[in-house]
Amino acid sequence: MPVHPRAEINRMSDEEFKARVYEVMRYVFDVQRELGRLFHEKIYHREIAFRIPGACSEVALDLLVGGGAIFELKAVEALAERHRRQLMHYLFLTDLPHGKLVNLRPGRVDHEFVNNVLTRAERSDFTAIGDGWEEIEGAKFQDRMVGLLRDWGTGLDLGLYQEAAAYICGQPPDVESDVEIRLGDRSLGVQRMRLSAPDVGLKITAMTTEGQAEFHSHLERLLDHTNLRAIQWINIARPVVRFNTLWKGKKGR
């Protein structure tokens, strides 16, 4: 399952990138001045892309100009860390060093650079630890996930890894299942969860080492209150990717 944007990517020099950004921002300012600041970002996106020579918007990116300048266009009250992470995700996918984050909702256009300091080779250089992992139904899940991560690198949006893991397990990539939650003999309702097998949960995170022990204990509690027999947990971080299988009734593994 390779991940490629549907466009040819050309890595620009820093000078070329800065010149292209300066050119594009003139169009951005013009569009906001003419339309105002209250439209949905898709409206701004279409109009800006229409005006810019060589802009490509029908790709898995927001706006690509000149094959090497990525712009993430927003229309929100204020830029947040999640918007920076989204642009960084695109930079990781394309292995480009710089992108521009733009918000057209404020009275004055808010914009900032986002810089990718890691190459794909660096993001693919990790240690895989699976001493707590057990394969279920002979799927060779761990080996295939490690191979995929060597190809893609760490740091991408978790949704991509979740879809890929589901694909490897033969599960629908975009479907969550209803899992009943019980406390004693009472049903508390259902919770939507991804599965790696009909009665095995799947959890993918990107946590620091410090947070993993506590999360492990909460996963055990979650497992105790479901009818699942196990949860397979993959923590995708750099420099360590950790694989763990939690079995119902077996604590602290």
Task: Give the pLDDT mean for 7-31.
Answer: 93
* Beta strands 200-205; 177-183: pairing state: unpaired
Q: Are residues 41 and 130 located together in one domain of the fold?
A: no
Question: Given 115, 143, 159, which residue is the final one in a domain?
Answer: 115
Using a 10 angstrom Cβ sphere, with 0-12 exposed, 13-18 middle and 19 or more buried, the burial of residue 131 is exposed
Note whether 201 and 176 are within 8 A (CB).
no
Domain that holds residue 37: 14-115
Total domain count for the chain? 2
The upper half-sphere exposure of residue 246, i.e. CA atoms within 13 Å in the direction of its Cβ, equals 24
Query: Same domain for 103 and 144?
Result: no
The rounded distance, in Å, linking the Cα atoms of 240 and 129 is 7
Average pLDDT over residues 118-127: 93
Residue 30 within any structural domain of the chain: yes
At CB < 8 A and 24+ separation, what contacts does 207-211 make? 207/235, 207/237, 208/237, 209/237, 209/240
Is residue 234 a part of any domain in this protein?
yes
**Both 228 and 140 in a single domain?**
yes
**pLDDT greater at residue 250 or residue 136:** 136
| Cα atoms in the 13 Å half-sphere on the side-chain side of 218 | 6
Does residue 1 have a pLDDT over 50? no
36, pLDDT greater than 50: yes
Last residue of a domain, one of 87, 115, 143: 115
Q: Classify residue 229 by burial, with Cβ atoms within 10 Å: 0-12, 13-18, 19+.
A: middle
pTM: 0.81
Tens digits of per-residue pLDDT, 179-215? 999 999 999 999 999 999 989 999 999 999 889 999 9
Residue 44 lies in a domain: yes
Tell me, yes or no, whether 9 lies in a domain: no
Q: What is the average pLDDT score of the chain?
A: 91
Query: From CA 6, how far away is CA 58, in angstroms rounded?
Result: 8
| 253 in any annotated domain | no
For 133, list phi and psi in degrees, rounded to 5. -100, 140
What is the reported pLDDT for 62? 83
In this prediction, residue 61 carries a pLDDT of 79
Q: Is 6 contained in some domain?
A: no
Structure tokens at 114: 């986002």
Q: What is the mean pLDDT of residues 108-137?
A: 93
Burial letters for 11-29: b for 16+ Cβ neighbours within 10 Å, e otherwise? ebeeeebeebbeebeebbe
